[in-house]
């Protein structure tokens, strides 16, 4: 799979009519898709999934050991964030001025500044830190750790230097039960097939 990703990423193709270009500000073309631009990205590393910053017209591309930031209009590299082992995705929290990169092999989340792209620190998570999104309703970054089978809510303003590894709390639940109402479990998540951990 990673080999295929490397091949595909040699040319990044943007299509119109769907969520990607709509997020970038382009008008959808009646639901049909067409190629509007091809970026020859190149560089080292595979990739998993992209994140779009629609306000600033940026693309965040995790490349295994580093994360590229591209101008979504020109395809030129704006920044390159180092320091990952096998990254997966990026969550953006504009109100906090921060971004969060999941790193599966390191079981961690890299926190960086959205203006300078400087790494602010790293949060210890659980095995196979993978899917990551920002949930505005709860004001939490939600991190899925596949191999560990857990979902970890992260406060956007967490101190990445002082933060400690999350521990199972008194509202942790096993895979066959729902999270208890004790603690601050995100109310927008209702899955009963995940194990909840204390917030970071």
Q: What is the pLDDT of residues 146-165, one digit of tens each?
A: 999 999 999 999 998 877 54
The DSSP symbol for 7 reads H
The DSSP symbol for 66 reads S
Looking at residue 42, its pLDDT comes to 87
Q: What is the pLDDT of residues 6-58, one digit of tens each?
A: 333 444 554 443 333 334 445 555 678 888 889 888 889 988 899 999 999 99
Looking at residue 141, its pLDDT comes to 97
Rg from Cα positions in the chain:
18
CB 199 within 8 A of CB 166: yes
Indicate the average pLDDT of the chain.
Answer: 76
Residue 63: is its pLDDT beyond 60?
Answer: yes
Cβ count near 123 (within 10 Å): 25
Q: What is the pLDDT of residues 116-135, one digit of tens each?
A: 999 999 999 999 999 999 99
Q: How far apart are CA 72 and CA 59, in angstroms?
A: 6
């Amino acid at each position: 799979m990673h080999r295929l990703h490397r091949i595909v990423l040699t040319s990044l193709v943007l299509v119109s009519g769907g969520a990607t270009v709509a997020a970038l500000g382009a008008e959808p073309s009646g639901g049909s898709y067409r190629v509007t631009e091809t970026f020859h990205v190149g560089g080292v590393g595979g990739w998993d999934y992209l994140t779009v910053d629609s306000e600033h017209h940026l693309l965040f591309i995790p490349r295994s050991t580093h994360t590229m930031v591209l101008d979504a209009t020109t395809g030129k590299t704006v920044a390159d964030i180092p320091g990952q082992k096998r990254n997966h995705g990026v969550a953006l929290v504009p109100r906090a001025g921060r971004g969060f990169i999941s790193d599966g092999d390191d079981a961690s989340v890299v926190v960086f500044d959205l203006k300078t792209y400087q790494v602010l620190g790293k949060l210890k998570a659980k095995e196979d830190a993978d899917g990551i999104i920002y949930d505005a309703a709860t004001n939490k970054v939600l991190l899925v750790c596949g191999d560990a089978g857990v979902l970890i809510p992260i406060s956007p303003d967490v101190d990445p230097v002082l933060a400690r590894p999350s521990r199972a709390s008194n509202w942790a639940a096993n895979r066959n039960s729902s999270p208890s109402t004790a603690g601050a479990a995100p109310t927008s998540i209702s899955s009963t097939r995940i194990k909840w951990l204390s917030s970071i």
